[in-house]
Amino acid sequence: MSSAAPSNPAVKNHTLPSYLNADALGPWGIYLQQVDRVTPYLGSLARWVETLKRPKRALVVDVPIEMDNGTIAHFEGYRVQHNMSRGPGKGGVRFHQDVTLSEVMALSAWMSVKNAAVNVPYGGAKGGIRVDPRTLSRSELERVTRRYTSEINFIIGPNKDIPAPDVNTNEQVMAWMMDTYSMNSGSTATGVVTGKPISLGGSLGRREATGRGVFVVGSEAARNLGLEIRGARVAVQGFGNVGAVAAKLFHEAGAKVVAVQDHRTALYNPAGLDVPAMMEYASHSGTIEGFQGETISAEQFWHVDCEILIPAALEGQITAQNAPHIKARMVIEGANGPTTPEADDILRERNILVAPDVIANAGGVTVSYFEWVQDFSSFFWTEEEINQRLVRIMQEAFRAIWQVAQDNKVTLRTAAFIVACTRILQAREMRGLYP
């Protein structure tokens, strides 16, 4: 589907640059197709829809560092601020060898939608460095992090843009980012990032928040479908922070996690895998490879009999090629953008419910919001309070989106975009254009 300009001939210079066009392959093109699908439901706000198709700011930076062997290496870094009409930018930073500008732009846009869908007062942003962190020593990783932070320093800040962990980044990386920003600003600024260590103003419950949100949304969706969690078969793609926590919570609720796939292998056991033992094993080995269970191929993973499928790895995993083989009753998106628009259509035709990423994995940014608030007030909540607030916000957001889907007879993804895009464009319209 093309991101064609509106038909109004009086509007000049409305054609999108080639790198913003939906016809360009990549995650950004997928996002633009999603916006096109929701546009007919925006009413008078549709006049502002081009706002959603253009990032507010996209920064590409060179990240040079001295390697341990004395050579100089250069890495490409990105920080994209998609929309900040509702508040400061918010979104993670990923370190991955396949990071591209298209990917980071799409992820920043999905953050705009996600933050608006759960109604936290943030805009959307995202960052990344094209690097395989597994090839770096700890000191090289620190130098890459600090140099990248220095390069984007002028566009981030507690009231401007607040990074967080994402793929291959963690509490330590956030600590280095916070320290670098603080040294450059001349004072300790704990609120410049979230997902920090507890000792530096991090929030209890943050590490498990995204996976917990997947479980909360999955439970709500199952209840609406009349599906009992106890005894339900679950397949999880990705066994990192999101997938492992979600698998653990479903396991504790009585579900059988029958298949798990990570970056090295996929394991299957129709009687259910021992998730706590697998988490312990993976924490030491860095993979589930070698853990007890039948090894299956990546392709076979998508053929597994289950009630609940949780893609919690990278984007673009459920495609027109594998969607016809999925046997789940519902898909709960733990990853960002794991389902292509073509696959979405196939799943809908097959009556498989999809709880979209912009609501299903919003637990992380919700608790990041809690962390940011706590840093500003220097008053911290208990983990029980954090989890209670998270569950309430996620349940209320999902129920509102479910109702919009029923009222408009659309998918949950389209309903989430209706809710979120309406909130974003209402803010844009009320603020007007300056100057």
Known catalytic residues are 126
Rounded distance between C-alpha atoms, residue 26 and residue 104, angstroms: 10
Residues in the annotated binding site for NAD(+) = 210, 241
Q: Tell which residue, 298, 299, 302, 243, has the closest CA to residue 273.
A: 243
269, with CB counted inside 10 A (0-12, 13-18, 19+), is middle
Which two structure tokens, joined as six digits, stand for 163? 């990074």
Rounded distance between C-alpha atoms, residue 338 and residue 30, angstroms: 10
Residues in the annotated binding site = 90, 114, 210, 241, 368
Would you call the peptide bond into 435 cis, given omega within 30 degrees of 0 as the criterion?
Answer: yes
Which two structure tokens, joined as six digits, stand for 325? 């083989």
Rounded distance between C-alpha atoms, residue 155 and residue 183, angstroms: 16
Can you tell me which residue has the tokens 């898909």? 331
Residue 310, phi then psi, degrees to nearest 5: -120, 100
Residues in the annotated binding site for substrate = 90, 114, 368
Rounded distance between C-alpha atoms, residue 409 and residue 36, angstroms: 17
Which amino acid does the sequence have at 130? R
